[in-house]
Amino acid sequence: MYLILLGPPGSGKGTQAERLCKQLDLPHVASGDLFRDHLKRETDLGNLARSYIDKGQLVPDDATIAMIKERLSRSDCRGGTILDGFPRTQAQAEALDSFLQELGQQLTGVLFIAVPDDVLIERLSGRRICRKCQTPYHILFSPPREAQTCDLCAGDLYQRDDDQPETIKARLDVYHKQTAPLIKFYKAANLLHEVDGNMDIDQVTDTMLTIIRSLRP
């Protein structure tokens, strides 16, 4: 099963991907998490990506596509994966199609998580991330059991630099200009399933699981 979670920043892609991966026993491939790992390790890719991420812009397609291809080539992705945050441009979507074709695979479906912009701003402003395992929390909507501490791995929680108000605005603009056109692209391919992301976290998960179970295996 190759599934894509498509949606604006803050729509719940990371939150839902983690739950769906557990339920469906699939690896979670999150482009943002991969970039943040490169930043931390100060690799060449990390140093290139930093200037874009800090401004809320997209990292160039070539570098992003190469990183994802490398990740999808690893053995744990052989039975499929849940892609979170990739593709984000038309060029990335086309590259993914041809790469899956090379692997003799095809996309199972695209879950588009719809959330209005004012709700996204509220979510991103209160988001906290685990430094170790990258699990997202929210100070009001999804607080950890113990303050500043990850429920899953006891890692420290921190606020991402790009979850500051000016960068949030830039990221939403980028989403509407560069990523939202993919909704039409996947609709035309008959792969798009829209989910109302403005419900409780559990309700969104249940809705998504129902859709996924109705897709071809």
Catalytic residues: 13, 88, 127, 160, 171
Asked if 4 is part of the footprint of Zn ion (rule: CB under 5 A), the reply reads: no
Q: How far is the CB of 141 from ligand ADP (least distance, A)?
A: 3
Q: How far is the CB of 145 from ligand ADP (least distance, A)?
A: 14
Please identify, using beta-carbon distances, which residue of 132 and 176 lies nearer to Zn ion: 132
Concatenating the DSSP letter of every residue in the chain gives -EEEEE--TTSSHHHHHHHHHHHHT--EEEHHHHHHHHHHHT-HHHHHHHHHHHHTPPPPHHHHHHHHHHHHTSGGGTT-EEEES---SHHHHHHHHHHHHHTT----EEEEEE--HHHHHHHHHTEEEETTT--EEETTTB--SSTTB-TTT-PBEE--GGGSHHHHHHHHHHIIIIITHHHHHHHHTT-EEEEE-SS-HHHHHHHHHHHHHHS--
Asked if 130 is part of the footprint of Zn ion (rule: CB under 5 A), the reply reads: yes
End-to-end CA distance of the chain: 6
Q: How far is the CB of 86 from Zn ion (least distance, A)?
A: 22
Contact range with Zn ion by CB under 5 A, out of 39-47, 131-139, 189-197, 203-211: 131-139
- Per-residue tokens: 100: 């899956």
Asked if 83 is part of the footprint of ligand ADP (rule: CB under 6 A), the reply reads: no
Q: How far is the CB of 99 from ligand ADP (least distance, A)?
A: 14
Asked if 31 is part of the footprint of ligand ADP (rule: CB under 6 A), the reply reads: yes
Residues 118-147 vs ligand ADP: string with x where CB under 6 A?
-----x--xx--------xxx--xx-----
Burial of 165 (0-12, 13-18, 19+ CB in 10 A): exposed
Contact range with Zn ion by CB under 5 A, out of 13-21, 110-118, 148-156, 169-177: 148-156
Residue 185 near which of Zn ion, ligand ADP, none (CB within 5-8 Å, type-dependent): none
Q: How far is the CB of 133 from Zn ion (least distance, A)?
A: 3
Catalog residues that contact ligand ADP under the rule CB under 6 A: 7, 9-15, 31-32, 35, 52-53, 56-59, 64, 85-86, 88, 92, 123, 126-127, 136-138, 141-142, 162, 171, 200-201, 204
